[in-house]
Amino acid sequence: MQSPALPNLDLTRLNTYSLFSRPSKVHARQLGCIVGAEATVNQLLNNLPDQLAGCSLRRWRDALWSAHQDHRPVVAALGGHVVKTGCTPYLIDWIRRGVLSAVCLNGAAAIHDVELAVAGHTSEDVAAGLIDGSFGMARETSILFARAANEAHDKECGLGAALGAVLQRSPVRARTLAWCAQLRSIHSCSIHITLGTDVRPHAPLYLRSAPRRSEPTRFLPDMCRRRGLAKGVWMNLGSAVILPEVFS
């Protein structure tokens, strides 16, 4: 195709080149396509732009489906925001459908999970709680974690499994991750609490029991160590530091 003519302009004196001969990073074939209101999620994903996050979402979907079909491990590693912003129902559905093999929670995710279970609400005002010293000191949360720590010691199991068992014996207002993982007997629900960053070890009731009674959590679920994650899927969702360190 010839370049459009530009009157009264001497192109030979300009340092230019033809647009049609230049290598480009984006092509029309990579643009997104409009889908109708009746489109499935798969159709929506398939019609996203063939660029950046559109490509990443499709690769993630394909890896997840392939691992599920071949019975390879699928692990969801969750930070606190995933739980407190209301995404747990989707993950619980995956547990029920047999998609997830294991769930790993950092301390914040575990706290939000517990509080939603027993109270139906979570996420306190951090700034106000730090000023008056009340941040992380909810009584019911501390009691449940202390019970779980004791049970983990007595039954020689991880804190995640113990917390799920404690929640099953408690009146709950919401079906949460630890509860559902225990109920469905998936391979593992592990909780990775870190001293110095999590509020749970600072709470008085937890301090009386956990350091003496609870074993350190395993860095990776037993299932992942036995079967390996080389061809499985590890989804790091909302944890920038703790769970990437757990994985490594």
Full-model pTM? 0.77
- Strand stretches in 79-218, DSSP E: 102-106, 188-192
Q: Write the CB contacts of 39 (distance below 8 Å, at least 6 apart in sequence).
A: 47
Spell out the domain ranges in the chain. Answer: 72-247
Cα 241 to Cα 243: distance, rounded to the nearest angstrom: 6
Q: What is the pLDDT along the chain (248 residues), one digit of tens a residue?
A: 566 665 666 666 677 788 999 999 999 999 999 999 999 999 999 999 999 999 999 999 999 999 989 888 899 999 999 998 999 999 999 988 888 888 899 988 999 999 988 888 888 777 776 778 777 778 888 888 888 888 888 888 888 888 888 888 888 777 788 888 877 765 578 888 877 777 654 445 554 444 444 444 444 545 555 556 667 889 999 888 888 887 77
Cα 103 to Cα 190: distance, rounded to the nearest angstrom: 6
Strands 233-237 and 102-106, sheet pairing? unpaired
